[in-house]
Amino acid sequence: MELDIKILTTPLDASACTDWLRSAACGGIDVFIGTVRSHTQGRAVTRLEFEAYESMAVSEMAKIAMEAGKRWSIERILIHHRTGSLDVGEIPVIIGVAAPHRDAAFDACRFAIDTLKQTVPIWKKEVFSDGETWVAAHP
């Protein structure tokens, strides 16, 4: 299984991620692209700010990828997360899985994003037009 795990301060490239996932051995690619939305709980979002304990975050993301590989038959898995200040519409996270069959790709991709939100030391501050708040890292 091939892994591509990164924490980046530059914009994430969904097209490049999808290109990396392509493989002649795989009939299914599932990609989750998280974007900064304009409203949260009825409040207008100005931007999000992400911070990470980078070395630990990369290590935890690799553990998630390896666990996905143990649970499902997958060929490639990509987990990229951005840090810094992101405006509405920008991409903070891309997770992609390539597998011989679509069910494995779908299931592994959902597992990866759900587990990332629960275990990886990345913190998010929501900045609104009328204030800001840190969101619990692991709800």
Tens digit of pLDDT for each residue in 8-55? Answer: 999 999 999 999 999 999 999 999 999 999 999 889 999 999 999 999
pLDDT, tens only, 109-122: 999 999 999 999 99
31 with 113: CB under 8 angstroms?
Answer: no
Q: What is the pLDDT of residue 138?
A: 55
Tell me the pLDDT band of 59, cut-offs 50, 70 and 90: very high
pLDDT, tens only, 64-110: 999 999 999 999 999 999 999 999 999 999 999 999 999 999 999 99
Q: What kind of fold does domain 2-128 have according to CATH?
A: Aldehyde Oxidoreductase; domain 3 (3.90.1170)
Q: What is the pLDDT of residue 19?
A: 98
Tell me the pLDDT band of 135, cut-offs 50, 70 and 90: confident
- Rounded CA separation 102/108 (Å): 10
Q: What is the pLDDT of residue 136?
A: 66
Which residue did the predictor score with more confidence, 84 or 129? 84
φ, ψ (nearest 5 deg) of residue 121:
-75, 75
31 with 95: CB under 8 angstroms?
Answer: yes
| DSSP 8-class letter at 136 | P
Tokens (6 digits) for 66: 């390896």
The reported pTM is: 0.95
Question: Which residues fall within 8 angstroms of residue 95, CB to CB, at 6 or more apart?
Answer: 31, 32, 77, 78, 79, 80, 109, 112, 113, 116
52 with 125: CB under 8 angstroms?
Answer: no
Q: Which of 126, 124, 52, 111 is nearest to 137 (CA)?
A: 124
Question: Which residues fall within 8 angstroms of residue 136, CB to CB, at 6 or more apart?
Answer: none
Q: What is the pLDDT of residue 137?
A: 57
Question: Which residues fall within 8 angstroms of residue 70, CB to CB, at 6 or more apart?
Answer: none
Tokens (6 digits) for 6: 């990164």
Using the predicted structure, report yes or no on whether residue 139 has a pLDDT greater than 90.
Answer: no
The residue ranges of every structural domain in the chain are: 2-128
